[in-house]
Amino acid sequence: MNAERVAVVGIGQTKYSAVRGDVSLPGLLREAAYRALEDAQLTMDDIDAVVVGKAPDFFEGVMMPETYLADALGAVGKPLFRVHTAGSVGGSTALVAASHVQAGLHQRVLTLAWEQQSVSEAMWALSFPVPFRQQLVAGAGGYFAPFIREYMRRSGAPDDVGVLVALKDRLNALKNPYAHLHETEITYDSVKDSFMLWEPIRYSETCPSSDGAVAMVLAAESAAEASAAASGVPPAWVQGTSMRSEPATASGRDQISPRAGSQCAADVFAQAGISDPLQDIDMVEMYVPFSWYEPMWLENLGFAPEGDGWKMTESGRTAMDGDLPVNCSGGVLSSNPIGASGMIRFAEAALQVRNRAGAHQVDGVRRALGHAYGGAGQFFAMWVVGTDKP
């Protein structure tokens, strides 16, 4: 017996911004949840279980906030599950929710991820000082920037590829009403001339710090078809799911192209029956918090041979009108409520498959990849969604 089929039938996002001072934390979540339920033509009563995820609890200053949020999430009397896998958590949460349906336990699962970064100071919540630990005087970007430099060295990429990624993603964000950054005046020169933070990373090549939430309704086959019939929007069928982790520091580890990432991608493509990802995947939403991670992940995921990822970016193949559009939503570079960022990738991939992405819709998306990573480039979560049942 195979696992049950599962599909995305509802997607809801809040407007992402630096501060959502107009809503409480429960209000923020309900905004996303109601939009997802409306999209699926369902109500809270139709939901069998709720699966939530977010990154460190210190962001909102609430320990294990799911117990506090049980009422707001309509979860009282139902299973309520909380995932935390660092930056990949939004993706992992969607996968845990999907497995609840795949296991045959539930017909309809509501899954949410969020972060209210404005509530505390982000750099503090991520890594406040612990006395015996080394304090990185370089900040968060100082952790990742050395690996970007090493990628540039290995690949021989020209030093403006990161600028091109940032420009592309921020221009895409102008087509996405939910995106945090809407930089209408952005140009190649404005990115290139922006403040150098962690050379080779410029300010305009880094993600913002956002408040926001995203929700999805996942449904078993018959429930998905019923929702689709009611809403008139096709489901996005989950064709493959995978998680992989590796230690933060291990002899033989390569942070430029982590094995956990490539193995996770190979697994998810195999499940979806994909032998040539570049041919078979129509668009990708990948987790790119610093611009250079686009070419790095293109190689890591198997869309480009080692050392060639930057050529895809440079030649425009990852633009909206390229043969592998990447981050049409504007990506993490345009909206980054950390705990939600992974699930936003998964949801945007499903939006494209359902032909509901509006101004940032790519024509004829039959199969899309959602990708999330976290920690020291060590936790990966991915799914492939498509128009066809697996």
Partner 1 sequence: MRDVAIVSVAQTDHVRAEPRRNEVEMVQPVIQAALERIGAQISDIGFTCSGSSDYLAGQAFSFVMTLDAVGAWPPIAESHVEMDGAWALYEAWVKIQARQADTALVYGYSKSSPGDLPRVLTRQLDPYYYAPLWPDSVAMAALQARAMLDSGAITETEMAEIAHRSRTAAESNPHAQLKGSPPPEELLAGDYVAEPLRRHDCPPITDGGVAVVLAAGDRARQWADRPAWITGIDHRVDSHNFGARDLTRAPSVAIAARNAGVGYGAVEVAELCAPFTHQEKILRTELSLDDDVVVNPSGGALAANPIMGAGLIRLGEVAQRIMSGEVRRGLAHATSGQLLQQNLVAVLEGDS
Partner 2 sequence: MGERDDPAGDRSVAAMPEGLWTQPPVEVPELDMEQVRRVTEPATLVYTYTPGLAQTRFLRGLQEGRILGERAEGATDVYVTGRGMDPVLGRATTESVEVGPNATVTAFCVVHIGFGEKAPPTPFVSALIRPDGAAVSLYGTVLGIPYDEVRIGMRVRPVWLPESERSATFECITHWEPIDEPDVPAEELKGHM
Site residues, partner 1 (CB under 8 A): 1-4, 24-25, 56-58, 60-64, 66-71, 75-86, 92, 96, 99-100, 102-105, 125-128, 130, 241-250, 252-253, 258-260, 263-264, 375-376, 378-379
Choose the contact partner of 213 out of partner 1, partner 2, none; CB within 5 to 8 A by kind: none
Choose the contact partner of 232 out of partner 1, partner 2, none; CB within 5 to 8 A by kind: none
Are 352 and 370 spatial neighbours (Cβ–Cβ below 8 Å)? no
Taking the alpha carbons of 80, 87, 6, 34 in that order, is the dihedral positive or negative? positive
In the bound state with partner 2, the residue whose beta carbon lies nearer, of 45 and 132, is: 132
What amino acid is encoded at 290 in this protein? F
β-bridge mates for residue 53, sequence order: 83, 113
The span from the CA of 176 to the CA of 321, in Å, is 16
Choose the contact partner of 77 out of partner 1, partner 2, none; CB within 5 to 8 A by kind: partner 1
Choose the contact partner of 83 out of partner 2, partner 1, none; CB within 5 to 8 A by kind: partner 1
Query: Which residue matches tokens 């020169």?
Result: 189
Among the listed residues 7, 33, 10, 9, the one whose alpha carbon sits nearest the alpha carbon of residue 101: 7
The span from the CA of 49 to the CA of 89, in Å, is 18
Structure tokens at 152: 């540039």
Choose the contact partner of 137 out of partner 1, partner 2, none; CB within 5 to 8 A by kind: partner 2
Identify the residue among 2, 134, 184, 275 touching partner 2 (CB under 8 A): 134
Choose the contact partner of 275 out of partner 1, partner 2, none; CB within 5 to 8 A by kind: none
In the bound state with partner 1, the residue whose beta carbon lies nearer, of 53 and 162, is: 53
Choose the contact partner of 94 out of partner 2, partner 1, none; CB within 5 to 8 A by kind: none
Rg (CA), the chain: 19
Q: Is position 119 an interface residue for partner 2 (rule: CB under 8 A)?
A: yes
Structure tokens at 40: 């699926």
**One symbol per residue from 186 to 205: x for binding partner 2 (CB under 8 A), - otherwise; what is it?**
---------xxxxxxx-x--
Structure tokens at 88: 């990949």
Largest CA distance in the chain: 58
Please list every residue from 236 through 265 that binds partner 2, using CB under 8 A: 247-255
Taking the alpha carbons of 363, 242, 212, 34 in that order, is the dihedral positive or negative? positive
Identify the residue among 74, 141, 325, 330 touching partner 2 (CB under 8 A): 141
The span from the CA of 182 to the CA of 174, in Å, is 5
Q: Is 257 left (phi over 0), alpha (psi -120 to 50) or beta?
A: beta
* Region near partner 2 per CB under 8 A, out of 96-104, 131-139, 185-193, 233-241: 131-139
Choose the contact partner of 78 out of partner 1, partner 2, none; CB within 5 to 8 A by kind: partner 1
Q: Is position 64 an interface residue for partner 2 (rule: CB under 8 A)?
A: no
Closest distance to partner 2 from the beta carbon of 140 (Å): 9
Closest distance to partner 1 from the beta carbon of 110 (Å): 13
Among the listed residues 268, 265, 328, 327, the one whose alpha carbon sits nearest the alpha carbon of residue 302: 265
Burial of 38 (0-12, 13-18, 19+ CB in 10 A): middle
Identify the residue among 45, 76, 132, 275 touching partner 2 (CB under 8 A): 132
Among the listed residues 344, 340, 343, 362, the one whose alpha carbon sits nearest the alpha carbon of residue 352: 362
Identify the residue among 27, 128, 187, 306 touching partner 2 (CB under 8 A): 128
Could you tell me which residues come within 8 angstroms of residue 389 by beta carbon, excluding any fewer than 6 positions away? 5, 221, 237
Closest distance to partner 2 from the beta carbon of 125 (Å): 9
Strand duo 6-13 + 211-220: pairing: antiparallel
Choose the contact partner of 21 out of partner 2, partner 1, none; CB within 5 to 8 A by kind: partner 2
Q: Per the omega criterion (within 30 degrees of 0), is the bond before 56 cis?
A: no
**One symbol per residue from 3 to 42: x for binding partner 2 (CB under 8 A), - otherwise; what is it?**
--------------xxxxxx--------------------
DSSP per residue, 147-175: HHHHHHHHHT--TTHHHHHHHHHHHHHTT
* Region near partner 2 per CB under 8 A, out of 92-100, 138-146, 183-191, 320-328: 138-146
Q: Is position 153 an interface residue for partner 2 (rule: CB under 8 A)?
A: yes
Q: Which residues bind partner 2 (CB under 8 A)?
A: 17-22, 58, 61, 118-124, 128, 130-139, 141-143, 145-150, 153, 195-201, 203, 208-209, 247-255
